[in-house]
Chain A
Amino acid sequence: MRRLRVPVRNVCAGLCAVFALGGLGPALAQTPKPGGSLNIMLREDLPQGFAIHESSTYSTSFPSLPCFSNLVFFDQSKPTESAETIVGELAEKWSWQDNYRSLVFFLRKDVRWHDGKPFTSKDVKFTFDLLREAPDAPAKLRINPRKDWYANVEGVEAAEPYTVVFRMKRPQPSLLMMLASGYTPIYAAHIPPAQYRTSCIGTGPFKLKEWRKGEFVEYVKNPDYFVKGRPYLDGLKYVVIVERGTRTAALQAGQLDAACPGETSRTTMEQLKKAVPQMVFHTVAQDVTDNIIMNVKKPPFDNPQVRLAVSYAIDRRGLIQASHQGGAILGAAMLPRPFGVWGMGEKDLLQLPGYGKPDEMKARARKLLAEAGMTRDKPLRVEMATRAIAIYVDMASFVINELKQVGIEATLKQVETAQWHAMATRGEYQIGANLTGLGTDDPDANFYENYACGSPRNYSQYCSEEVMKLFERQSQELDPKKRLAAVIDIQKRLEQDAARPILAQRLDYFAHWPHVKGLTPHNNVYNFSRFQDVWRDK
C-alpha cells in the first residue's frame, strides 16, 4: 500500500492555521453581517475636533480615526503592534531604498476624499510638509506636537501622482512605525488644516454626519471607501458622557455597545462582569506609563544620587496593587512582552532601582540620601506636583507615602490641567507625578520625545550626550535583534540615571457587548478604531 506523504511543513502550516483561527475567537469563524450601527463611549468631547495633527490625546484620535486613512496602519486584527504588523492603507506597497535612506510609497489609485476629489501624492506631500514644517509648506499647523517625529526627514517628493518618496538624513527604520500610528492620518491638500477642527474630510471608511458639540459624533458608512465590501457597519455614534458612573451604567444598560480605550479599570471590569456575565473584555496595555519627573536643573534633583534614591524608594508592585488594584504591570520605558516588543523581561527589570524587594530598595535609598547629606534629622523637603486629576493624585499620594519612609518629606501640590504642561515644560517644579502615553510602541518615538536633550516633552530636562549617541545608534540599526539589545541597554541606563523613573505600565480591560464582532483593541490606545472590519451580530 502506498503511504501518503505529507510534508511536515504543510502539516505545521495547517495546524497553525487551525490554532490561529481558534485563538482569534468566534469572530473570524462567523461570516460578517453588513448593516447596523454601534454606539461607542467617549469620555469627553473632541478637544480639537478632528485635527489629529494638532492634538496628543486619544480623545481626539479615537473618535476621528474612522474618518481618516494613513499611508500604512497597524493591522487592526492584531493587538500587539510591530513593524511586522504594518499593512498598507493608502499605500499599496512600499520599499526601502538607498540603504534605508529613502522610503518609497506606491499609492492606491482608486481613492477619493469624502467630498469626491481624488486622492494623490500631493495630499501626502502636503501632510508631511505640514508636519515637518518644511520651509515651502503651503500651510502651518496651529500646534504641532509631533514635529520631532520627522526631524530626520529631509524631503518628501511627489514626482508622480501615485508615488511618494521620503528622503532621510540617515537610515531610520522607525519612520514606518510612526507613519503607521493613529496620529499620522493623511490630510487633504485642498482643505485648510484649521477646518479639521470643525469638520472632517478624509478617505476613511466612515463619513462625518454630525458633530453635536458636547453630545455626540455621528458617522455614516462611506459608500466609496477604497476597500471593497467595507465597512460592514452603516454607522457609528460616539456618545460623550463626562460622568464616569453614567458611562459605565450606559454600557451596562446596553445603550453603548463598546467602551472607549483606557476606560475600563480592573475594578470596573469586575463590577461589569458580575452584572453582565456575557460582556466581553480584552486585557490590553495602554502604552501609558506612571512615571516620576524630577527637575535635573534644580536642587536637590540636580544630584543624581538623590534622583536615584527616589527611584529606589518607590515600591512598584505596591503602587500597582494600591493605585491600580492590580490593573498594571511592571515595565521600564518600553512596553514589555507580550504587550509590546521592546520591553525588558522580568529578570532584567529586577536588577533596576526600585524593582527589587521593597525593604532592600528602601535601605538603598536611605543610604544614598545619607551620602548626599540628608538624614532623619535633616530630611529632604520637596513639593510633589501633579495634575489635579484623580488618576494623577492617587499615584502622587502613594509616592509621597513611599518617600516619607526613606526620609523625604513631600507635600502634594495639585496643578490644574491648564497649568500642568506649561509648568512642566518650563521646569517650574521640583518633582512631579506624571503619566506618559506613547503614540506608537517604538523606541525612536519614545526616546526622542521623552528623554532627548532639548525635547519640549522631556520634562525632567535630563540630557546626556552619551545617551543621545546611544539613541542615534539604535535608531539606525537595521538588524532587529541588535536593535532590541541596544534598546534594552538604553532602558537600563535611563532607569539607572533616574531620568524619568517608570513606576508602572497601565492596563485596560476594554469592554464591549458580545454582538460587537471584529473589534480587536490594541496594546496602545491610539492605534485602533478604524472600525472598517467591525460588524454587528444582532
Chain B
Amino acid sequence: VKSYIGQRLGIGLVTLFGMSMVIFVLLRLAPGNIVDILFSTGGYVNPSERLAIERELGLDKPMWAQYLDWLGQLAVGNLGKSYRYDLPASEIIRPLVPVTLELATLSLVVAVLLGVPTGVISAVRQDTRLDYALRVVSLAGLSMPSFWLGMVIILGLVAWFGWIPPVTYVHPTENFPLHVVQFMLPALAVGYRSSALIMRITRSSLLEVLREDYVRTAWAKGQTERIVIWRHALKNAILPVVTVIGIEFAFLIGGLVVTETVFNLPGLARFLVQAILWRDYPIVQNLVMIIAVVVILSNLAVDMLYGVLDPRVRYGS
C-alpha cells in the first residue's frame, strides 16, 4: 500500500508540474495584465509609468524567467506577493481555504444524505409512483444550476421573511448557530444538485446489483429486505457512487464560484475569479495549484477507499 501511495503521489507531483505550466502560460495568454487593470482604475495609460510598474512587479522579465522564479518560490514555500493587495499571497489565501473546504464538505454531506437513500428507495421501488416522483425531483436537481437555486433562496427569503443569512462571514467561534445557518443554505443549494447525480448513480448501480445471483440467494434464504438491500446489495453497488462523490468533491473545491458569490462567502473560488479579473498572477497560480492538490488527494482518497469497501481490490501487488 505504501509503495502504491508513493507511486500515486509521484504521479501527482508530475501532474502538478504540468498543471503549473498550463496555468502559467494560460494566464499570460489572456489579454492584459495587472498594469492594464491598474491604469483602468485611473482611466488612462502612461507608457513610461507602465514600464516602471512592470519592472517593479517583475513582469518585464522573459516568461521562462518568471516561471522559474515562481517555481523557486514554491519550492521554499513562498507563494509570492499579491499584485493587487501588495501583501504576501499566503496571508490572503490562508483564510479562504477553510471556508471553501467547509462549504464543499457540507454540500457533499447534504448530497450523500439526500442522494444515497433516495437512490436506494428509487431502485427498490422501481417503476412505482414513488420512483417516478424521486426521479422527477432528481432530474429537477440536475437541471437547476446551484447558483440559480441560491439566488432563488436569497430572493425568496427576503421577499417572504425579510431575512437572509449573514452577508459577512461569521466564524464558528464567534456565533456557532449563525455560522451553521450561514453555511447550511448554500450547502443545501449545492448539495441538492450533487444529490441528484448521486441518487441516479446509486439507483442504476443498485438496480444492476439487485439482479445478481447472490442477491436472489439472499432473498431465497429469507433475509429481511433491510439486510438484503443495505448489507448485501448496497455494499457492492456503492463503488461507482464513491467515485462520483470523489469527483464531486474535487469539482466543488473550484466550482463553488457562483454559490460563494451569491451567498457572499469569502471562499477560494470567489476570490479566484476576482484574482483572474485583476490578473493577479501570484494569487491565481497558487489558488489553482491548491485546488489541483485537493483534487489529486481526493482522487487518491477515493482509490484507497475502494480497498476498504471491496476486499477484492488490492494495491501494490
Asked if A418 is an interface residue, CB under 8 A from chain B, the answer is yes
Q: Using an 8 Å CB-CB cutoff, how does the interface string of A296-339 with B read, 1 for contact, 0 for none? A: 00000000000000000000000000000000000000000000
Asked if B264 is an interface residue, CB under 8 A from chain A, the answer is yes
- Chain A 189-245 residues near chain B, CB threshold 8 A: 194, 197-198, 212-216, 237, 239-243, 245
Q: Are A422 and B167 in contact (CB under 8 A)?
A: no
Chain B interface bracket (under 10, 10 to 19, 20 to 34, 35 or more): 35 or more
Q: Using an 8 Å CB-CB cutoff, how does the interface string of B127-164 with A read, 1 for contact, 0 for none? A: 00000000000000000000000010011011100111
Task: Give 4 nearest A-B pairs by CB, closest first.
Answer: A418-B32, A145-B42, A456-B44, A249-B158
Q: Which residues of A contact B163 (CB under 8 A)?
A: 253
Known: A55-B41, A56-B41. A214 touches B86 (CB 8 A): no
Q: Which residues of A contact B154 (CB under 8 A)?
A: 245-246, 249
CB nearest neighbor in B for A437: B43
Q: Are A275 and B159 in contact (CB under 8 A)?
A: yes
Contact of A250 among B53, B167, B271 (CB under 8 A): B167
Which A residues are within 8 Å of any B CB, using their own CB?
45, 47-49, 54-57, 59-60, 142-145, 194, 197-198, 212-216, 237, 239-243, 245-246, 249-250, 252-256, 275, 416-422, 425-426, 456-457
Interface of A is mostly: mixed
Contact of B37 among A215, A275, A418 (CB under 8 A): A418
Could you say which of B44, B56, B261, B277 has the most chain A C-beta atoms within 10 Å of its C-beta? B44
How many CB-defined contacts (below 8 Å) exist between A and B? Answer: 141
Taking the nearest CB of chain B, how far is it from the CB of A274, in angstroms?
Answer: 10
Asked if B307 is an interface residue, CB under 8 A from chain A, the answer is no
With A57-B41, A243-B151 known, 11 other A-B pairs at CB within 8 A are A143-B46, A194-B86, A215-B168, A239-B167, A246-B164, A246-B167, A255-B166, A416-B32, A421-B40, A422-B40, A425-B44
Known: A54-B42, A213-B92. A197 touches B162 (CB 8 A): no
CA distance A369 to B76 in the complex (A): 65
Q: Which residues of A contact B203 (CB under 8 A)?
A: none
CA distance A313 to B32 in the complex (A): 34
CB nearest neighbor in A for B265: A215
CA distance A418 to B270 in the complex (A): 19
Taking the nearest CB of chain A, how far is it from the CB of B46, in angstroms?
Answer: 7
Q: Which residues of A contact B49 (CB under 8 A)?
A: 142-144
Asked if B39 is an interface residue, CB under 8 A from chain A, the answer is yes
CA distance A426 to B32 in the complex (A): 14
Q: Are A417 and B40 in contact (CB under 8 A)?
A: yes
Q: Which residues of A contact B52 (CB under 8 A)?
A: 142
CA distance A255 to B169 in the complex (A): 13
Q: Using an 8 Å CB-CB cutoff, how does the interface string of B257-270 with A read, 1 for contact, 0 for none? A: 00001111010001
Q: Which residues of B contact A254 (CB under 8 A)?
A: 162
CB nearest neighbor in A for B266: A215
Asked if B33 is an interface residue, CB under 8 A from chain A, the answer is yes
Q: Are B43 and A421 in contact (CB under 8 A)?
A: yes
- Chain B 57-97 residues near chain A, CB threshold 8 A: 84-87, 92, 95
Known: A255-B164, A255-B167. A422 touches B42 (CB 8 A): no
CB nearest neighbor in B for A276: B162
CA distance A457 to B42 in the complex (A): 10
Known: A142-B49, A239-B168. A252 touches B162 (CB 8 A): yes
Contact of A457 among B44, B155, B167 (CB under 8 A): B44
Q: Are B86 and A245 in contact (CB under 8 A)?
A: no
Asked if B11 is an interface residue, CB under 8 A from chain A, the answer is no
Q: Are B41 and A422 in contact (CB under 8 A)?
A: no
Asked if B279 is an interface residue, CB under 8 A from chain A, the answer is yes
Q: Are A419 and B39 in contact (CB under 8 A)?
A: no
Contact of A422 among B36, B86, B164, B274 (CB under 8 A): B36
Q: Using an 8 Å CB-CB cutoff, how does the interface string of B220-243 with A read, 1 for contact, 0 for none? A: 000000000000000000000000
Asked if B45 is an interface residue, CB under 8 A from chain A, the answer is yes
Q: Which residues of A contact B46 (CB under 8 A)?
A: 143, 456
CA distance A184 to B26 in the complex (A): 39
CA distance A215 to B271 in the complex (A): 10
Taking the nearest CB of chain A, how far is it from the CB of B34, in angstroms?
Answer: 9
Asked if B38 is an interface residue, CB under 8 A from chain A, the answer is yes
Taking the nearest CB of chain A, how far is it from the CB of B287, in angstroms?
Answer: 12
CA distance A194 to B52 in the complex (A): 14
CB nearest neighbor in A for B156: A249
CA distance A296 to B40 in the complex (A): 22
CA distance A483 to B27 in the complex (A): 51
Q: Are B33 and A249 in contact (CB under 8 A)?
A: no
Q: Are B158 and A253 in contact (CB under 8 A)?
A: yes
Asked if B31 is an interface residue, CB under 8 A from chain A, the answer is yes
Taking the nearest CB of chain B, how far is it from the CB of A413, in angstroms?
Answer: 13
Q: Which residues of A contact B42 (CB under 8 A)?
A: 54-56, 143-145, 421
Known: A55-B42, A145-B42. A198 touches B85 (CB 8 A): yes
CB nearest neighbor in B for A142: B53
CB nearest neighbor in A for B273: A242
Q: Which residues of B contact A56 (CB under 8 A)?
A: 41-43
Q: Which residues of B contact A241 (CB under 8 A)?
A: 167, 264
Could you say which of B43, B86, B92, B166 has the most chain A C-beta atoms within 10 Å of its C-beta? B43
Q: Which residues of B contact A142 (CB under 8 A)?
A: 38, 49, 52-53, 56
Q: Are A422 and B168 in contact (CB under 8 A)?
A: no
CA distance A242 to B273 in the complex (A): 11
Q: Which residues of B contact A420 (CB under 8 A)?
A: 40
Q: Are B39 and A422 in contact (CB under 8 A)?
A: yes
Q: Which residues of B contact A144 (CB under 8 A)?
A: 42, 49
Q: Which residues of B contact A416 (CB under 8 A)?
A: 31-32
Taking the nearest CB of chain A, how far is it from the CB of B155, in angstroms?
Answer: 6
Taking the nearest CB of chain B, how far is it from the CB of A43, in angstroms?
Answer: 12
Taking the nearest CB of chain B, how far is it from the CB of A145, in angstroms?
Answer: 4
Q: Which residues of A contact B30 (CB under 8 A)?
A: 418
CB nearest neighbor in B for A194: B86
Q: Which residues of A contact B263 (CB under 8 A)?
A: 246
Taking the nearest CB of chain B, how far is it from the CB of A213, in angstroms?
Answer: 6
CA distance A47 to B274 in the complex (A): 11
Could you say which of B45, B151, B155, B264 has the most chain A C-beta atoms within 10 Å of its C-beta? B264
CA distance A213 to B274 in the complex (A): 11
Known: A417-B37, A417-B40, A418-B31. A425 touches B45 (CB 8 A): yes
Q: Which residues of B contact A250 (CB under 8 A)?
A: 164, 167, 264
Q: Which residues of A contact B262 (CB under 8 A)?
A: 243, 245-246
CB nearest neighbor in B for A39: B168
CB nearest neighbor in B for A249: B158
CB nearest neighbor in B for A420: B40
A-B contact pairs, 8 of them (CB 8 A): A145-B43, A212-B95, A245-B262, A252-B158, A256-B167, A416-B32, A417-B37, A421-B42
